[in-house]
Structure 1
Amino acid sequence: MIDQTDTRAVAKAEKSPFLRLALEAGPLLIFFVANQVVGAMPAIAVFMAALVVAVALSVRLERRWPIMPMVSCVFVLIFGGLTLWLNDDLFFKLKPTVVNLLFAAILFAGLATGRNFLKLMMGTVFELDELGWRILTWRWAVFFVVLAVINEIVWRNFSFSFWAGFKLFGILPLTLVFAMAQMPVLMRHQVKPAE
């Protein structure tokens, strides 16, 4: 049975964008610091553990399964496990490319088949008309492709340490700026609740 305090904590977690940001950025920050202190391979192991904890906390606090963080976590465990097992960081550097292209492919496939997967994932957060969902889906699909290309450019041309820092100080802020840039679409296509 859930007591009143626990219910308030869950409601607060669902409404707090800062808590969500901490749960998503925290493991990246831990990875960055661990890489600076102990090196790539131990940092990858620490990151894998931190991400599992963050997803578990998300599930516990929000009382729902966060789809994108969970998919990312599964891929981190697979690619991180391969990296540690084979002692080759190539697999870990490829993970963001594979995940971003997977998300883009799912969104593009949904658009091509008349299904809007972004709406399925975020329909409880935003109420938009169909055109708004289509615009957002196209933009996020293209953005995921851009993130994949950026990841490929960075890991192929810079050191592992630079790449690790860029994930935290480049990709994360870029994603936040892109998400905020979608506010005009959200406002213009928001469905007004019935009186």
Structure 2
Amino acid sequence: MTEKTINPTLKTALELGPVIAFFVAYLWLKDDTFTIGGTEYDGFILVTAGFVPLMIAATGVLWWLTGTLNRMQVLTVVLVTVFGGLSVWLNDERFFKMKPTMIYLLFAAILGAGLLRGQSYLRTVMSGLMPLQDEGWMLLTKRLAAFFFGLAVLNEVIWRTMSTEAWVYFKTFGLTAAIFVFFMTQTGLFKKYAVEDKG
């Protein structure tokens, strides 16, 4: 299916809106406890229960408007549903906190599997955005696979050793900033291995 063009602001709102809503709702309800069906749930679990359907709905609307979703978006919504659902069902916030670990380990494993086959799966996804020579794609893929593995380890360290509030800040802002900084530090690689336009 051909991707349809939509307003960039709307696209960003659909992609980031659920995460921002989760953060705001958590700050609002973090100190509260709710009794539902005789079971006590803290604010984090209640916010997670609202985040899962919101994420599914936003992704569904994005697919309806654009006609397509990339693999990362599909994988993310599946893992949000699985781990968020487990957290709510078992009333255990640890499952939702593990979600970024699983996402980044899976990304690292997929990129690593491609490298073992002498291929850059990253190129398949991003070649239209950044025309690079083969050597550049392989080097960027190695660096990104290692970076994703590092993020998985960092997420584990933070949620296991710090407060839930600290983890929410890390998840909302730290991971996003880390990915931005990573690509900014690859400027030299992009320049060195850029494919020159011969047109």
Q: TM-score scaled to structure 1, two decimals?
A: 0.84
Query: What is the Cα deviation at residue 119 of structure 1?
Result: 0.8
Structure number with higher strand proportion: 2
Aligned length, in residue pairs: 184
Tell whether the 8 Å contact from 1:59 to 1:66 is kept in structure 2 after alignment.
no
Q: Quick one: which amino acid aligns to residue 26 of structure 1?
A: G
Q: Root-mean-square deviation (CA), in Å?
A: 2.0
Instruction: Give the percent of matched residue pairs that are identical in Structure 1 and Structure 2.
Output: 39
Residue 117 (1) aligns with residue 116 (2): no
Task: Give unpaired runs (5+ residues) of structure 2.
Answer: 30-42
Structure 1 residue 175 and structure 2 residue 179: aligned?
Answer: yes
Give the aligned partner of residue 44 of structure 1. Answer: 48
Shift of 1:12: 5.7
1:94–1:120 distance in 2 versus 1, CA, 3 Å = same
Q: Are 1:34 and 1:46, in contact at CA under 8 Å, matched by a contact in 2?
A: no
Bigger proportion of residues as helix: 1
In the alignment, structure 1 segments of 5+ residues that lack a partner are 1-6
Q: Secondary structure at the match of 1:107?
A: helix
Contact kept, 8 Å, 1:51 with 1:73, in 2: the verdict is yes
Aligned to 2:22, which of 4, 7, 31? 31
Equivalent position of 1:3 in the other structure = none
SS at match of 1:192: coil
- For 1:90, the equivalent position in structure 2 comes to 94
Q: What is the SS of the residue equivalent to 1:190?
A: coil
What does 1:26-175 correspond to in 2, within 5 Å? 26-38=17-29, 39-175=43-179
* CA gap 1:60/1:123 in 2 versus in 1, 3 angstroms: farther
Most deviating of 98-107 and 19-28: 19-28
Counterpart residue type for residue 30 of structure 1: A
1: CA distance, partners of 2:119 / 2:15: 27
**Given residue 172 of structure 1, which amino acid in structure 2 is its aligned partner?**
T
Larger of the two Rg values belongs to structure: 2
Q: How far is the alpha carbon of 1:40 from its aligned partner?
A: 0.5
